[in-house]
Amino acid sequence: MKYLIRLSFDGTAYCGWQMQKNGPSVQEQVFRALTTVFGNVQEFSGCSRTDAGVHALDFCASFAADSTLPCEKVIAALNANLPRDIAVHAAEIVPDDFHARYSVIKKEYRYRILTTPARSPFWEDRAWHRVGEYDLEALNRAASHLCGPHDFRSFMAAGSKITDCTRTVFDAHFEQDGDTLSFYVSADGFLYNMVRIMVGTLLEVPRKYPPEEIKAILEAKNRAAAGATAPARGLYLNRVEY
């Protein structure tokens, strides 16, 4: 039987989703819970890699198991065996050829910026504290230039070995909610650090870059043309669609 589970996690304590030798990972914790509940588990895969400190509101993972449980019991059993900073909120049975990563149609990320003059201990590891007043209209005009199929080489971490840098961005926009500014971006795929470089660049609009400059940054196909990489702590995988 093959399952898809949807989970959320606070990534502060982890080196990312993927199992690594240099620290605890979310995947390691979920795999431990799966084997406790199901025994033998195969074809265990997540929908994406995440960097250390990145969070998820809707992360997906698929796995095959010899034993069968009703989906509502899968949720309860896994949550009973997961740490407090990881929780499963949905489970479903999927076809045998389903793959959490390769079956994805669209992923959406959210990046949170706290704009208050003083930092907040409640947002310390969950948003980028960046004081300022932001021109929402200018930010959204700039973000609109990211939409469509583009070579996003300028928004990829230097040293990445990926050669095909074309991705299709379906939507990119900012929303203001009181003291919190959020950037939303959805695409058919993302390059390494792509969203964080987008945020670090866009937040310099219009002080450093006029909104139309984003087109020139894309066309440069050069990481040096874009702005700084925003910190990991403000980034959330927000939604995954299959």
Active-site residue, selected from the candidate residues 10, 51, 125, 164: 51
Eight-class DSSP state of 17: S
| Torsion of the alpha carbons at 190, 187, 195 and 238, rounded to the nearest 10 | -110
Distances (CA, A) of 75 to 4, 26, 72, 210: 11, 17, 5, 48
The CA distance from 214 to 200, in Å, is 12
Length, in residues, of the chain: 242
Q: Read off φ and ψ for residue 69, nearest 5 degrees.
A: -130, 145
Q: Reply yes or no on whether 85 is catalytic.
A: no
Query: Are 6 and 88 within 8 A, CB to CB?
Result: yes
Q: Which amino acid, 150? A: H
Q: Which amino acid, 117? A: P
The CA distance from 25 to 6, in Å, is 17
Distance between first and last Cα of the chain: 19
Q: Which residues belong to the active site? A: 51
